[in-house]
Amino acid sequence: MSGPREGETAADAVARMPAEWERHDATWIAWPHERSDWPGKFSTIPWTYAEIVRQLGRAERVEILVQDSAALERARRVLDRSSVDLEPVRFHVCRTDRSWTRDSGPSFVRLAAAGGGSSSLGLVHWKFTGWAKYENWQNDRRVPEWVARHLRLPIRRAESGSRWVVLEGGAFDVSGDGLLLATEECLLSETRARNPGLGREALEAVLRAYLGVTEVVWLRRGLVGDDTHGHVDDVSRFVGPRTVLTVVSDEPDAPDFPALRENRELLEAYRPRSGGRLEVRELPAPRPVVFAGQQLPASYANFYVANRTVLVPTFDDRRDTDAIDVLRHAFPGREVVGVRARDLVWGLGTIHCLTQQQPAA
């Protein structure tokens, strides 16, 4: 299929990344296939994906990337046996290395002419390097270009000067109204740098140019056990233009307790340039989830907001119900559905990590 090439977006177009709760046309996911992401537990993962697809399909179209025609038929069988309605589901053969579409996929933005007027959709293509950890990322890096061709949408590489900027979608969260959350651990750490030598001011300029944000709210650290080096979507998320849910722990001995407390203090102290302050709400942390001696990044903050539904990972924990109640209060017009994710998090990510929203055209 022919389509736009990278760099075809008009130079004077003004970009804005919509908040996740704004209207979607679809959600993109990649069907799981990399067994090494869930060693010893992979057999359960397609069934968890099936439940996620079932819930998403009640709210919007679901676009699923598969490795080949054989993988497509396997996925279809799992969905059929799970009584998933296939009417809103579309399959696409597009090879991936892993199935964490939030990070390897494109960021969808709205583009408007500098003088105003109607807007259209465009894509931002971050440079993907396997979270500065894995060596097999070449297929994942090509996913944004494939999506742009399929949808016939303009796409731009995110650049600072002539440098293609490394970033993943789970490393930031936007309010849709100018604010962006990120952690210094992920974006600024020189010991685990995605972009060595590219400092705070340069990165903020990139985020302004490609996502349309006006301010970056910097937190310090992410969760222990998170192999992305501190993605913000496990610790703090916008649920309104000036409202943030932030994970807190009530166990002082828990490994994440100090970082979560510091993040909350930073949010409470932050003063947006437009005036006022953020409304900061608590989201409980589950008890630490440990498997094979490894603490896993289990977090209710890895929820995903679809058109009429919010999907939240649950961990067979007494706090599951509390977290669902918090999200019901945050999204009163949506059904909040818990998805059992104790096996899924063995892959070091859950629901938000595997989804990518396509805003309504």
Question: Is residue 284, in this structure, part of any structural domain at all?
Answer: yes
Whether 7 maps to a domain, the answer reads no
Q: Please state the rounded mean pLDDT for residues 158-186.
A: 97
Report residue 227 as tokens.
């192999």
160-183: b or e for each residue (b if 16 or more CB lie within 10 Å)? Answer: eeeeebbbbbbbbbbbbbbbbbbb
Please check whether residue 163 lies inside any domain of the structure: yes
* Alpha helix (H) residue ranges in the chain: 45-57, 69-81, 101-104, 138-141, 143-151, 184-187, 200-211, 257-269, 320-330, 351-354
186 is catalytic: no
Number of domains in the chain: 1
pLDDT over threshold 80, residue 131: yes
Higher pLDDT, 177 or 8: 177
Distance CA 241, CA 244 (A): 9
Phi, psi of 231 (to 5 degrees): -60, 140
Domain that holds residue 203: 14-359
Answer whether residue 247 is part of any domain.
yes
Alpha helices by DSSP H, listed for 98-212, are 101-104, 138-141, 143-151, 184-187, 200-211
With a cut of 60, say whether residue 52 has pLDDT above it: yes
Is residue 7 pLDDT above 80, yes or no?
Answer: no
Q: How far apart are CA 57 and CA 82, in angstroms?
A: 13
Q: How far is it, in rounded angstroms, from Cα 106 to Cα 87?
A: 25
Please report the DSSP string for 277-310 in residue order: --EEEEEEPPPPEEETTEEE---GGG-EE-SSEE
Q: Which tens digit of pLDDT belongs to each residue from 247-298?
A: 999 999 999 999 999 999 999 999 999 999 999 999 999 999 999 999 999 9
Q: So what's the pLDDT on residue 11?
A: 54
pLDDT digits (tens, 9 = 90+) for 297-338: 999 999 999 999 999 999 999 999 999 999 999 999 999 999
Beta bridge partners of 357: 27
Q: What angle do CA 122, 101, 241 make, to 5 degrees?
A: 60
Which pLDDT score is estimated for 190? 77
Instruction: Indicate whether 105 pLDDT > 50.
Output: yes
Could you tell me what percent of the chain has a pLDDT over 90? Answer: 91
Least confident span in 4-18, 83-97, 147-161 = 4-18
Any domain includes 5:
no
With contact defined as beta carbons under 8 Å apart, do 212 and 15 qualify?
Answer: yes
- The DSSP code for 109 is E
Active-site residue identified among 53, 324, 353, 354: 353
Instruction: Give a yes or no: residue 57 inside a domain.
Output: yes
Whether 67 maps to a domain, the answer reads: yes
By residue count, the chain amounts to 361
Amino acid identity of residue 24, one-letter, is: H
pTM above 0.85, yes or no: yes
Residue 282 lies in a domain: yes
pLDDT of 119 reads: 82
Is the Cβ–Cβ distance between 160 and 149 less than 8 Å? Answer: no
What is the residue-averaged pLDDT of the chain?
Answer: 94
What pLDDT score was predicted for residue 257?
96
CATH code at position 203? 3.75.10.10
